[in-house]
Structure formats: structure tokens, C-alpha cells
Amino acid sequence: MFKGILIEKDEAGYRATLTDLDEGRLPEGDVTVRVSHSTLNYKDALAITGKAPVVRTFPMVPGIDLAGTVEHSTHPDYAAGDAVILNGWGVGETHWGGLAQKARLNGNWLVPLPAQFTPQQAMAIGTAGYTAMLCVLALERHGVTPAHGEILVTGAAGGVGSVATAVLSRLGYTVVAVSGRPVETDYLKRLGAVEVLDRAAFATPGKPLGKERWAGAVDVVGSHTLANVCATTRYRGVVTACGLAGGMDFPATVAPFILRGVTLAGIDSVMCPRPERLEAWRRLASDLDVAKLAAISQEVGLTKAISLASKLLDGEVRGRVIVDVNR
């Protein structure tokens, strides 16, 4: 038996509870992992609360991230005792995830834990930080360098935004952060932002084109915010889009794309091919100041994850939430 959060949906309703689970209930997979840490992401919070149809099959153990040690493996790349991490691949949505003390997984979904990180540090980064690194790699791939100008990071006090701000600033970019929480200004400046803007300036309908300012951007919000970011991006600038915290809609015009040559680069972390995952984690190991992870993250026990989910959706949680599944 092991402890885990179980989401159920039946005639009695939708509910997430912390319960004891039998190992025989674990789904099919060629690697069994003793989980040490997981995380609480925006998607996990949606799954736990049921505020969006994230979970596709029931019952489900949520948790799109995990770090742990291989207990048993028939996969050629992994053996008992190996330290591994997992991000995405539909785990926590269609396959039991990391918010439990054990997981059985497809070994092709795993990557080795980088030697530079402890399991706690890897989960302080988690899917959010790995997604942030994919955004940075996309900016670089499209030729955006620090010399090109300011990089805007929306939702900057959240998990993706916090890591993006820390990584971009360390790489020499001039980072301007957007947040709806003025109290987080000092926090964002400690991470490397040179200026913090109020999200209200981006959250309502704007003009098809605004004054050019951003050489690039990392957007986790979507909706009017993403439209306004594109409208104020400089000629041949690049906007990476990886979230929908403000909505799935995109009420924009083609003007930024056909008049300024702006590139809108979509970032998907769930099904991202393994070589790009390995590169993202390699770059995180070299380009993220590990000392900043303490400021970016907080750690809670598995018993607190359910109650924290609603607060995360309400924007009351700073940075990353690490979940120690063994307490």
C-alpha cells in the first residue's frame, strides 16, 4: 500500500481525496518509481478542483511532475536505483501521476535526474521551469539575443515566469516582468527583472498595433494579454506562448505578423520530443542559478496539496510548489 491523491467522478460527484492505494492498482508500465517529490502546477490544481476537464479517465492520480528512484524496470535504459524525473506525457491526465508515493510509467517518458540537482531542486523547477527553458531555447533559435532589447515575461510571479525571469536575466537579457501582485515587485527584481509592470495594462482589449517595445516575450496568460504583447513587439520580434491563465482565446489581428514580421512561437511541454527535453534540462543545469530556487519555491506535504490547489488558481501562490509525497 502507498499514499496518494485520488480523483474520482461518479454519481456522488467529483472529488479529490488523500487515500491509501494498493500497488496492484497502478497502471501498466515498464518502470516502477518510488516517488520522493512531486509538484503542484496550474494544471494539477485544475485537475484537483475539477475547474477544467483536465482529467480524461477516472479514477486518476494527479501530478504532471515527479522525481524519484527506480524500484523495478524492464526498460533497457533504466535499472533499480536510478534517479529519474518525469514531466508531462499526459501523466496526471490519462495515466496516474506523481502526487503519490509510487508510480508505474513508460520508461520512454523518463529522463535521468541531472547530477547538478537534488530531487527537491528538480521539482522546484518541474514542468514550469522546463517549459520556461523551452521558451528561452525558442527565443534563441529564432535569433533573439540580449542585444536586441527587452524581453517581456507575463505572469512573472508564477512558476514559468519566475524561472524564465531568473534564466533570462542570468543569460544577460533585460527582463521586464508583468504581474498583478504589486507585493511581488521586490521578489521579481531579486530574480533579475529590471522593471515590473501591472498586468492591468495588458488585460483589456488594445489596438491592433501599439508602440514597439519588446524584442521577445514569454507569455503564460493568453487572451488579451497575449494579443497586446504581440501588438507591442518590435519588428521581427518573437513571442513564445505556453499558457492560458487568462483564457484560451486570442482576440488579436494579423497586423503584428504581416506588418512587423512578429513570430508567435507555440511552446508545448507535454509531448515535447525527448532530445529537446534533455537539452532543456542540460541548459537548466548550466543557466539557472540554483541559489534562486529557494526564493522561487516552497515545499509542502502531500496532505496540503489538495487545499492549496484553489489558492494556486486564484493567483495567491508565488513561484513553484514542491510536494514531499512522504509527509
pLDDT in tens, 67-116: 999 999 999 999 999 999 999 999 999 999 999 999 999 999 999 999 99
Positive or negative: CA dihedral 51, 55, 56, 58: negative
User: For all residues of the chain together, what is the average pLDDT?
Assistant: 96
Identify the band that residue 318 occupies on the pLDDT scale cut at 50, 70 and 90.
Answer: confident
Q: Which of 104, 100, 122, 102 is nearest to 113 (CA)?
A: 122
CB 135 within 8 A of CB 155: no
pLDDT in tens, 32-43: 999 999 999 999
Q: What pLDDT digit, counting tens, does each position of 190-211 carry?
A: 999 999 999 999 999 999 999 9
Residue 211 placed within a domain: yes
Q: Three-state DSSP class for 227?
A: helix
Asked whether residue 283 carries a pLDDT value surpassing 90, the answer given is yes
Q: What is the predicted pLDDT for the residue at 315? A: 86
pLDDT score of 41: 92
**CATH number reported for the structural domain that contains residue 218 in this entry:** 3.40.50.720
Q: Is the peptide bond before 59 cis (omega within 30 degrees of 0)?
A: yes
Kindly state whether residue 212 falls inside one of the protein's structural domains. yes
Q: What is the pLDDT of residues 229-242, one digit of tens each?
A: 999 999 999 999 99
What is the average pLDDT across 148-166? 96
- Residue ranges making up the domain that contains 30: 2-113+290-324
Quick one: 33 and 144 in the same domain?
A: no
Whether residue 148 is found in the same domain as residue 183? yes
Taking residues 148-162, report their average pLDDT: 96
Average pLDDT of the residues in 281-293: 95
- Sign of the C-alpha dihedral, residues 281, 171, 177, 322? positive
Q: How many structural domains comprise the chain?
A: 2
Q: Which amino acid is at 195?
A: E
Is there a domain that residue 42 lies in? Answer: yes
On whether the CB atoms of residues 319 and 158 are closer than 8 A, the answer is: yes
- Segment 262-268 shows an average pLDDT of 98
Residue 277 covered by a domain: no
Domain boundary among 222, 251, 266: 266
Residue 285 counted as domain residue: no
pLDDT over 90 at 217, yes or no: yes
**Final residue before a domain boundary, out of 250, 266, 282:** 266
Q: Is residue 278 part of a domain?
A: no
For every residue of 107-168, DSSP letters joined together read GGG-EEPPTT--HHHHHHHHHHHHHHHHHHHHHHHTT--GGG-EEEESSTTSHHHHHHHHHH
Which residues, at least 6 apart from 28, have a Cβ–Cβ distance to it below 8 Å?
A: 104
